Amino acid sequence: MINKNKCISNDSGVKDLRPYEKCTKFGPVYLTDEELLAVILRTGTNGMDSTQLSAMILETTHCTDRLLDLAQVSLNQFMQIKGVGVVKAIQIQCICELAKRMAKQQLSERMDFSSPEAIASYYMQDMRCLDKEHMLLVMLDSKCRLIHDSVLSIGTVNASLVTPREVFAEALKFGAVSVVLLHNHPSGDATPSRNDVAVTQRILEAGNVLGIPLVDHLIIGDNTYTSLREKEFI
C-alpha cells in the first residue's frame, strides 16, 4: 500500500498546512484520520486546535485503529469529552451515518440476499447495539436483491403487534417478490423465543397464501445471529 503522507512529505511547508489547505492542495485521500475529522469539526477548543481535538476524540473513544467503532459512540459519550458539545457530537454522528449509508447502498447493489450470513452481516452493525427490539422487514426482488427495508415495530416483538396485514401491505407497496424478517435481541443473545417462532409461523403462512414467501427470519445478537430457516422453522 502506498504511504500517501510519505509521498507528500518532501513538499515544502506541507507540515504547516491546515487540514483544509492540505485537502485543497492534495485532495482528501491524503488527509489522516485526525485531519479528516478536523475538517468536519472545523474548530477546536481552548488550547487545542481541531486536529488535536480530533486526535483526542479518536483516542478517548478507542477508535484510532478502528474508525468503524466511532459510529457506535453515543451522543452522551461524545459530550463527555472535553471540548465536544452537542453540535460537534451531532456532526460526528451524522458523518458516521452518512458513511454507513453510502457503504450500504453500494454493497446492496451487488449483494445476494439469499444467504442468511450475508443478510446478517449487512444489518449487524445497525442492529446489534440497539437498546430496544426493532422488527425490520426486508423486501427482495426476483434475484434476491434488496428493494427496500422498513421498520415494522419498536419494542418487544409480539405476534399481536407484527401482523401479516402490516407486513404484506408494505411488501405489496414496494413490489416485493419475497421478504425477510429481522429483529434484534438487546441482550446480545440471538436464541429465538417461543414468541419469535410464533411470529415467524404467522407470517410464513400468510406469505404462502399471498404468493410472497418469507425467505427467513433472522435474530441479531451482539456480533452473532440465528436464522430460523437454518433452524428449520421455515
**Is 45 in contact with 82 (CB distance < 8 Å)?**
yes
Q: The dihedral of CA 225, 222, 140, 117: what is its sign?
A: negative
Rounded Cα–Cα distance for residues 108 and 194 (Å): 31
- The pLDDT mean for the chain works out to 85
Condensed to tens digits (0 to 9), the pLDDT of residues 163-209 reads 899 999 999 999 999 999 999 999 999 999 999 999 999 999 999 99
Predicted TM-score (pTM) of the model is 0.62
3: pLDDT strictly greater than 60? no
C-alpha distances in Å from residue 145, one per residue of 1, 117, 169, 171, 234: 33, 14, 19, 14, 20
Pick the CATH number of 111-227 from 3.60.15.10, 3.40.140.10, 3.40.1190.20, 3.50.50.60: 3.40.140.10
| Distant-in-sequence contacts of 19-24, Cβ < 8 A, 24+ apart | 19/50, 19/51
The correct answer on CATH 1.10.150 for the domain covering 32-105 is: yes
Query: Domain map of the chain by residue range?
Result: 32-105, 111-227
Rounded Cα–Cα distance for residues 174 and 78 (Å): 38
What is the 8-class DSSP label of residue 129?
A: T
Condensed to tens digits (0 to 9), the pLDDT of residues 131-173 reads 889 999 999 999 999 999 999 988 866 544 688 999 999 999 9
